[in-house]
Amino acid sequence: MQAIEPGAELRVALAGQPNTGKSTLFNRLTGLNQHVGNWPGKTVEKKEGSFSVNGFRGQVIDLPGTYSLTANSLEEKIARDFLINQGADVVVVVVDASQLERSLYMAVEVLLLPVKVVVALNMVDVAEKMGLSLDSKALAASLRVPVVPMAAAKGRGMEELLETLIRVSAQAGPVQERGARLEQAFEEMVGSVREIIHGAVPRPYTESWMALKLVEQDGEAAEIMKARLDDQSWRALQDLLAGRQDALAAGSAARFEWIKEALSSAAQEKERQTGVFTRWGFDRAATHPLWGKLIAGAVLILSVLATYIACLPPMTLGLGLLIMPNILRNALSGELPGWLLAMVCDGILTGLGVATCVAAFIAGVFLVLGFLEDIGYLARLSFVFDRFMRRLGLHGKSFIPLTMGFVCNIMAVTGTRVIDGWRQRLITLLLAPLVPCKGLLVVISFVSVVFFGPDAALVLAALAVVMAGQLLLTSFLLRRGLVKGEDCGLVMELPPYHKPNFRTIWSYAVSRVRAFLRHGYWIIVIAAFFTWVGVYYPDGQIETSYLARFGRAVEPFGRLMGMDWRLLMTFLVAFSSKEATLGAMAVIYGAGNTSRTAIEGLYMDQGLMMNIQTQLGAFLTTAGISQASALAFLFAIFFSLPCLGTLAAIHAETGSYKWTLGALAYYLFTSVFMGAAAYQAGLLIFR
Amino acid sequence: MEVGSSMRLDELQPGGRALISEVRGKPLFISRVCALGFTPGTEVLMVRNHRRGPLIAYLRDTLVALGRPEAAGVRLLARQQRPVAEERG
């Protein structure tokens, strides 16, 4: 590693456990000079940013927040590979001074690697309030790396951190090995392993690290060495390591011993605190089986309200885009060719409007969610709903993404990133299309009221019951056999509550919206455009359009569900986006004086919706749709054709066509099956 | 219960303290709970444990929530102490 010259770019990696204020520090360092993407080939978020100070320019890479650096989870492997391959000049390990013993665990993991380390001792203000006095110099001396006390949320310690970074990066020469303290725990074992693998360890791994990881039964380390060692040495190694399944836990215990030793001289409690029960106050209620759920319910209701308020400003932009076509049409009709005006108004602007409204909603949701996470409450939500989610074969962490599904399934699918363990995450995101989004709920409640009047409540209840059944069945199928792999269940830190840091919350929401603008947004726009093409061409009449022709062609299948080509077309439009469904019905059934092919944006236009309420209802009831057909339509659309955006999100998160097309095929099948079953049932009920 | 015999974390009553003897499960599980501090020899305090549903344990300055099946993978030395007054509730 070479020293850094002024003017050169310093590469800094941020490592640390979740809830240590790592994101806050990252935001302090980089301001809004951030870029959010994915780690190459992985669906784990990669945040990068830049800073410049005293002629030094720096690049900061925010590693995934992890509790350790084993090869057992994707996030940990990413962080570990990045550090081992020396992607950074200096590694900053962020630790929480108020939970020092545990958060130093990650620091110890990083110290075992041959990298330059600076420990950012964050939240010293919180620790002081708790009566903890920390001697950062003593800690630095016993860990043998610089320790910078700071309070990133208040900007305290930032300058010292930057100075230390520059100083440490300028140190020449190789990094000392620091693992000796740990090797003692396994006595001569590490030494014996080192003898076997001597000379065979590929760069950039070090012999001592590899030996330690082999002793600790690390699967990846074993794989690397199996490829490098001859048969005899490999067998000798296996004999040596056999029967040490306890080594992983023993290694962890040794790391904590090391930490205790380092802390014995550095940390003092000024006055004896009574431990956990000083923090327990609100949590006593918030984690209570009954009160906790009531609090959670209240929080969720307030969150929905807050979301609507927060998304208002950007929402006006989307609504503006949706009103534009009316203005344009008045101003430009006659001056532009009809098809061009229709394309701009109905094909492009409305799609942009709808997508912008969804983006606004996502901004609102993530502002609120970011707030709940930043103050520390979010983990409690997962805790209280764990028992409920277990009934679905999931655990508490799936609660939040699936709940977001009520707003938008695309969000639910991307929201599964909060779940650790690939298996659990995959099951949750494949279940997401079963949650009815708000676009779908509007359609369902409208159609059921039009056709079933006061009995609509019964229909909705039937839908809810069948949905519960389908959730259970689908989750069962996924768990039994379809989805392989490991997860560690619910093992979750309940972080201490903190005052909200609005910078962190803001940048979290901004990064989520940016991620949506990169993909989901354009999929909605493109789907809207092609839907318009389908209903406009070849001659501008929806009744004779390509989509209508397609609808007529598959009408024989539709008969199974008692659906004629018009209902089938509505069904197809719902596939492009649920929000467009009502608009499509309005156009297809010729309600009101709506533009013949402007189907996408209608649901956002409140005046028009009122119009549809009165007129579409009348049209639909006189359109010759039987109640059985209407019931079939409701069931078919509810169970649970995913929209294109959701499918695209599933593909983005799984990186697999197998799962994406599998989900499509499965849900298409259940849609048609449920529709047909509902039709037959309807024929019996509504004779 | 005999001293030294094995007991599961989910059997520890609220307010009870015990030493962890062993962690059982798949590597991902073991590495996660160990990194959160559940290493053999550590004293753990049970904070919330109802008959059903997840539980909350306290150790190394940290509140950790564990699902009931997960908690069964953490084994204790059965040396449960009598709950003291401050820890009730």
Sketch the domain layout of chain B as residue ranges: 6-84
Do A36 and A93 have their domain in common? Answer: yes
- Residues on chain B touching A104 (C-beta within 8 angstroms): none
Do A541 and A610 have their domain in common? Answer: yes
Do A111 and A258 have their domain in common? Answer: no
* A349-388 residues labelled b (16+ CB within 10 A) or e (exposed): bbbbbbbbbbbbbbbbbbbbbbbbbbebbbbbbbbbbbbe
Query: CA separation (Å) from A122 to A98, A100, A161?
Result: 8, 9, 11
Distance from CA of residue A561 to its chain's centroid? Answer: 36
Do A142 and A263 have their domain in common? Answer: no
Do A591 and A568 have their domain in common? Answer: yes
Do A236 and A117 have their domain in common? Answer: no
Residue A672 identity: V
Residues from B contacting A (CB-CB < 8 Å) are 22-23, 25-37, 39-42, 45, 47-48, 50, 52-54, 56, 58, 60-67, 69-70, 86-87, 89
Query: CA separation (Å) from A72 to A391, A534, A555, B31?
Result: 27, 48, 51, 8
Candidate CATH numbers 3.90.79.10, 2.30.30.90, 3.40.710.10, 2.60.40.10; the one for domain B6-84: 2.30.30.90
Residue with tokens 């749709």: A625
Do A24 and A126 have their domain in common? Answer: yes
- Residues on chain A touching B32 (C-beta within 8 angstroms): 67-68, 72-73, 420, 488, 491
The predicted model gives A541-568 an average pLDDT of 86
- Residues on chain B touching A287 (C-beta within 8 angstroms): 48, 56, 65
Predicted confidence (pLDDT) per residue in A125-178, tens digit: 988 888 888 899 999 999 999 999 999 999 999 999 999 999 998 888 778 788
**Of the residues A242, A269, A296, the one at which a domain ends:** A269
Residue A477 lies in a domain: no
Position with higher pLDDT, A387 vs A613: A387
Give how far A275 is from chain B: nearest CA, Å. 8
Asked if B76 contacts B44 with a C-beta cutoff of 8 angstroms, the reply is yes
pLDDT at A457 > cutoff 60 = yes
Contact A68 B35 (CB under 8 A): yes
Do A98 and A189 have their domain in common? Answer: no
Query: CA separation (Å) from A237 to A207, A224, B14?
Result: 14, 13, 45
Asked if A245 contacts B28 with a C-beta cutoff of 8 angstroms, the reply is no
**Of the residues A170, A195, A211, the one at which a domain ends:** A170
Per-residue model confidence (pLDDT) at position A485 = 73
Lowest mean pLDDT, pick from A164-168, A541-545, B37-41: A541-545
Residue A618 lies in a domain: yes
State both tokens at A23: 């994101």
Q: What is the CATH number of the domain that holds A41?
A: 3.40.50.300
The predicted model gives A571-590 an average pLDDT of 78
Do A259 and A127 have their domain in common? Answer: no
Pairing of the two strands A90-96 and A56-62: unpaired
Max Cα-Cα span within chain B: 38
Predicted confidence (pLDDT) per residue in A458-503, tens digit: 999 999 999 999 999 999 999 887 777 777 789 999 998 888 989 8
Residue A344 lies in a domain: no
Contact B56 A383 (CB under 8 A): yes
Do A153 and A191 have their domain in common? Answer: no
Q: Quick one: which of B13, B3, B6 has its CA closest to B79? A: B3
- CA torsion sign for A598, A602, A605, A607 is positive
**Of the residues A170, A189, A219, the one at which a domain ends:** A170
Number of Cβ pairs < 8 A linking chain A and chain B: 139
- Residues on chain B touching A105 (C-beta within 8 angstroms): 35, 37
Residue A327 lies in a domain: no
Do you find a cis peptide bond into A52, omega within 30 degrees of 0? no
Do A546 and A663 have their domain in common? Answer: yes
State both tokens at A352: 């942009």
Asked if B23 contacts B73 with a C-beta cutoff of 8 angstroms, the reply is yes
Q: A 481-510 residues with CB below 8 A of B?
A: 486-494, 496
Query: CA separation (Å) from A180 to A203, A371, A405?
Result: 20, 42, 50
**Count: domains in chain A:** 3
Give the C-alpha separation, A13 to A25, whole Å.
12
Q: A 178-207 residues with CB below 8 A of B?
A: none
Nearest to B48 among A252, A279, A287 (CB): A287
Residue A445 lies in a domain: no
Q: A 72-91 residues with CB below 8 A of B?
A: 72-73
Q: Which of A337-351, A378-392, A562-576, A609-623 has the highest mean pLDDT?
A: A378-392
Model confidence band, residue A547 (pLDDT cutoffs 50, 70, 90): confident
Residue A415 lies in a domain: no
Q: What is the CATH number of the domain that holds A213?
A: 1.10.287.1770
Residue A373 lies in a domain: no
Residue A611 structural domain: 522-685
ipTM score of the complex? Answer: 0.87
- CA-nearest residue to A132 within chain B is B61
Give the other-Cβ count within 10 Å of A309's Cβ: 12
Give the other-Cβ count within 10 Å of A326's Cβ: 15
Give the C-alpha separation, A270 to A298, whole Å.
38
pLDDT at A606 > cutoff 70 = no
Do A165 and A196 have their domain in common? Answer: no
Give how far B17 is from chain A: nearest CA, Å. 13
Nearest to A494 among B60, B65, B87 (CB): B65
Residue A482 lies in a domain: no
